[in-house]
Amino acid sequence: MTDARPAFIPSERQRALVARGIRRRRRAERRFQAYGIAAIVFAVSMLALLLVSVAGQGWSAFLQTNITLEVALPKDEIDPDGKGAAAIREANFQAIVEDALFRKLGVSGRDDERLAAKMISAGSDAILRDRVLADPALVGKTVTIALPAHSDIDMAWKGHIRRGAPEQDRVVKDRQFQWLDALAKAGAVHTGFNWRFFSLGDSNEPELAGILGALTGSAYTMLVTLLLCFPIGVAAAIYLEEYAPKNRLTDLIEVNINNLAAVPSIVFGLLGLAVFLNFFGLPRSAPLVGGMVLSLLVLPTIIIATRASFKSVPPSIREAAYGLGASKMQVILHHVLPLAMPGILTGTIIGMAHALGETAPLLMIGMKAFIAAPPVSPLDPATALPAQVFIWADKPERGFQEKTAAAILVLLVFLVMMNALAVYLRRKFERRW
C-alpha cells in the first residue's frame, strides 16, 4: 500500500496570481491580433487613399469646357482671290476667332482684349482652320463652333480655382470670371467629353495635351519588349530546365538570372545608356532601345514562369511521346511546350504589365522628350505612358495636374486589363493532372 499523495490545492493567492496572469495573457493576445488587423487596415486604406486621390484628381480631365462662338468667316479676309485651300492655310484665323470672341463678350480696349483672348485655347485658330479646310464652302458664312476653353478657364469652370482668393493670387482674374458667367448665362459654355485627350500628342497648353503620343510610344516599346524577351526567355528556360548539365556554367547562369531579377531598374537604364546608346550608337529616345532595356528586365520573370510550368507537365506525357519514337526536341516542342503555354503566357503578361509601368530606365535612355507628334516607327523619338506621367507631374500649371492623374488612370486601366487577362488565362487553361 502506498500513501496517496494529497492533491495539489493552490492557495487563494496562487489562484489569484494565475487568474491575473491569464487576464494579462488574453489582453496580450487581443493586442497582438489588433496589431495584425491594424497593419492590414493600414495597407488597404493606403491603397484606397491612393486610388481615390488619383481618381478624384483625374476624372475631370476626361471632360473639357467648351465655349461656343458664332464666328463670321469673311471671304475678303480669308480667301479674297478664291485660291481655295492654299489661301485658307495662310489666313489669319487668330484674328477672326478673337474678333468673334470680343464681339460676344463685348470688350474693347487693349488690356481687356488681352485678358479676353485668354478665355479660349491658344489652339483655337488651328481648330477653326481645320474646320474650314474640311469644308471650304463655309468661307463667307458664319459658323457656330465650340472651341476649347483656355486651361485656366477650364479649371475655374470645374471649380478648381476659387473665386474667394485675392485676385493677384489667381490666374483667373475677376473680369474673366464675369465674362465666364455672362457666357454661361448666354448658354455658350458646355462641358463635353475630352476627345482631344486621346487623339493628340503632348502640348504646352494643358487643354491641348493628349496621351496619344505616349500610348503609341508605349505600344512600340511593349512590342519590341515582347518580340525580344518572349522567344529568348522561353528558349533560355527550355535549355535550363531540359538540357543544361549540372555544372559550373549552369550554376553561373542560374545565379545571374536571379541577380538580374534583383537589380534596381535604374541600373538597367544605365546599361542601356552606356551600351546601347553610347557604344552601339542606337538612336536616343527610341522605343527600340526602351524595348531592349525593358526586355532584360522582364527576362527573369518569363524564365521563372516557363520553368515552373514546364515542371508541372507530368512525366507521363513525355514518356508517351518518347514511346512513339519522338526525339527529345520533338517531345519538348510538340508536346511539353504547348501544354505549358498557358502558364508561360500568364507569366509573360504579368512581366509585360510590370514593364508597362516601368519609368526609371526609360528616363535614362531619353524617352522623356517632348513629343508633339506620335512616333511612326520604333526608331523615332518617343515617350511612354509612365514617362508622360512623370513629365506632366513636373509642370506647374494646374491643368497638367489633372492630366497627370488622368494619364495614371489610363495606365492603371491597362494594367488591370492585362492582369485580368492573366487571371482569366490561368483559370481557363489551368489543368490538374
Residue in the structure block whose three cell numbers are 497638367:
400
Q: Please identify, among the stretches 117-125, 191-199, 312-320, 325-333, the one whose residues bind another protein according to the rule CB under 8 A.
A: 325-333
DSSP at 368? B
Q: Please, which residue, 25 or 83, has the CB nearer to another protein?
A: 25
Residues 216-255 interacting with another protein (rule: CB under 8 A) = 231-233, 235-240, 243-244, 252-253
Residue 241: which of 344, 115, 360 has the closest Cα?
344
Q: Please, which residue, 178 or 278, has the CB nearer to another protein?
A: 278
The answer to whether 14 contacts another protein (rule: CB under 8 A) is: no
Residue in the structure block whose three cell numbers are 493576445:
29
Residues 162-191 interacting with another protein (rule: CB under 8 A) = none
The answer to whether 40 contacts another protein (rule: CB under 8 A) is: yes
Out of 1, 4, 7, 37, which residue is the one contacting another protein (CB under 8 A)? 37
N- to C-terminal Cα distance for the chain?
A: 66
The answer to whether 260 contacts another protein (rule: CB under 8 A) is: yes
Residue 261: which of 233, 280, 235, 223 has the closest Cα?
233
Show Cβ contacts of residue 306 under 8 Å, excluding neighbours closer than 6 positions: 233, 234, 237, 238, 241, 340, 343, 344, 347
Angle at 236 (CA atoms; ends 426, 234), nearest 5 degrees: 30
Site string for another protein, 326-365 (x = CB under 8 A): -xxx-----------------------xx-xxxxx--xx-
User: Parallel, antiparallel, or unpaired for β 189-193 and 63-72?
Assistant: antiparallel
Cβ atoms within 10 Å of 316's Cβ, excluding its own: 9
| Closest CB 122 distance from another protein, rounded Å | 25
Q: Please identify, among the stretches 3-11, 69-77, 84-92, 259-267, the one whose residues bind another protein according to the rule CB under 8 A.
A: 259-267
Residues 30, 24: Cα–Cα separation, whole Å: 10
The answer to whether 308 contacts another protein (rule: CB under 8 A) is: no
Q: Please identify, among the stretches 53-61, 183-191, 210-218, 338-346, the one whose residues bind another protein according to the rule CB under 8 A.
A: 53-61
Residues 15-34 interacting with another protein (rule: CB under 8 A) = 25-26, 28-29, 31-33
Site string for another protein, 376-395 (x = CB under 8 A): ----------x--xx--x--
Name the burial class of residue 145, with classes exposed (0-12), middle (13-18) and buried (19+) by CB atoms within 10 angstroms of its CB. Answer: buried
Residues 404, 171: Cα–Cα separation, whole Å: 20
Residues 265-284 interacting with another protein (rule: CB under 8 A) = 265-268, 270-271, 273-275, 278-281
Q: Please, which residue, 140 or 264, has the CB nearer to another protein?
A: 264
